[in-house]
Structure 1
């Protein structure tokens, strides 16, 4: 090997040693940071999976409690105390929004069936619904508010929704507050957009008749 080659190798090794001396700490820190990011991400994935699993288990527990309460009511007995279920739903609210909303809807239904309308109203008001559930929550809450005599609040909650269920709910409120003409208009509008074979159609026709209207013939409603 030539002397010049040996000098070049020596010079290169010196450069490498100097570079490591000047940059070694940063290099090690960068590697450590990269490993921390990788392990941190893996921990976060496991943590999220555990939270979802726990939320599902808590949701299943709440569902089982609600099923038990509902079964008691269906058997002609007084519905079981729902306080424990309320606590389970409250726990879900801090774990998973979707599960909490679904459980709260069922809890409100059970509360209504047990004659606890005001508690059901409170349950529905506490829900922070997703866009997909908002219309359902608002309509159920509006019906309960109307039943409690809070007609203005109920109408405000329904707003200008044009689906058949909302139209009927608004018409019910207007009929109850002495406005049969407006109620007739909304019942007719609901029937116009309702399928002829819809199970609730006959009930809406009866409501229309009660406020002095004439149900449209099937051909007129389609």
Structure 2
């Protein structure tokens, strides 16, 4: 770094530097401030969009709760308009539930499969695998249902997965494998209260 003997030399050096670099500094400041305000505007826009999506999701789910599968068109419209956000996956879950209750298993399966492909949330993915297995079992696709359950690796699901696997295997007619699955479920921390009854029935 250069050393300056007098204050005048320092001032002249600053003037010279400013002549050479002043425009770049101003431009940088403008860009920097523009970026700052642009980022804040972007964040505000994202927040507003999320709040709007949340409100629309709440309305769609309420319509579904009040009108069942007859509100399908409204919920599907919400899903189609919000496919890039997780609210659409949650809406698909709710719509699939209503479709199952209405006996529309094929439509429910399609909804759940789309949601499974769209979600980025590991916890939601486990819920989807579980419900897909249940729907496939209702359709008589027992092997496919068991395979679907195998996708759930979260240990906190251990008991529920093993019990549902037992239910599916029992419906398939494989009582020995069902008993083994129920026994496995019983050893998990999330075993259901009805599990012992199922084991007792098979032991008779």
TM-score range, shorter-chain basis?
0.7 to 0.9
Number of the residue aligned with 1:177: 172
Select the structure that is richer in helix: 2
State yes or no: 1:38 paired with 2:29. no
Number of the residue aligned with 1:75: none
Contact 2:63 2:71 in 1 (8 A): no
State yes or no: 1:93 paired with 2:91. no
Number of the residue aligned with 2:184: 189
Task: Give matches, 1:35-184, under 5 Å.
Answer: 35-70=33-68, 79-94=69-84, 96-97=85-86, 99-127=87-115, 128-129=118-119, 130-159=121-150, 163-184=158-179
**CA deviation after TM superposition for structure 1 residue 164, in Å:** 2.1
**CA deviation after TM superposition for structure 1 residue 51, in Å:** 1.4
Stretches (4+) displaced over 3 A = 8-17, 191-196, 204-210
Structure 1 residues 195 and 138, CA gap change in structure 2 (3 angstroms): closer
Partner Cα separation in structure 1 for residue 77 and residue 130 of structure 2 = 24
Per-residue CA deviation, residues 66-108 of structure 1 (Å, 9 max, x unaligned), is: 12224xxxxxxxx5251222221232322x21x2232222111
CA RMSD of aligned residues (A): 2.6
Structure 1 window deviating more from structure 2 (79-88 vs 187-196): it is 187-196
Q: Number of aligned pairs?
A: 192
TM-score (norm 2): 0.81
Number of the residue aligned with 2:3: none
Per-residue CA deviation, residues 146-204 of structure 1 (Å, 9 max, x unaligned), is: 111222221111117662221121112222223111111212332344779x5x51xx4
Structure 1 residues 195 and 60, CA gap change in structure 2 (3 angstroms): closer
Partner Cα separation in structure 2 for residue 85 and residue 102 of structure 1 = 11
SS at match of 1:93: coil
Structure 1 residues 27 and 153, CA gap change in structure 2 (3 angstroms): same
Number of the residue aligned with 1:29: 27
Contact 2:109 2:135 in 1 (8 A): yes
TM-score (norm 1): 0.75
Per-residue CA deviation, residues 126-161 of structure 1 (Å, 9 max, x unaligned), is: 113411222221111101011112222211111176
SS at match of 2:140: coil
Gaps of 5+ in 1: 1-7, 71-78, 215-222
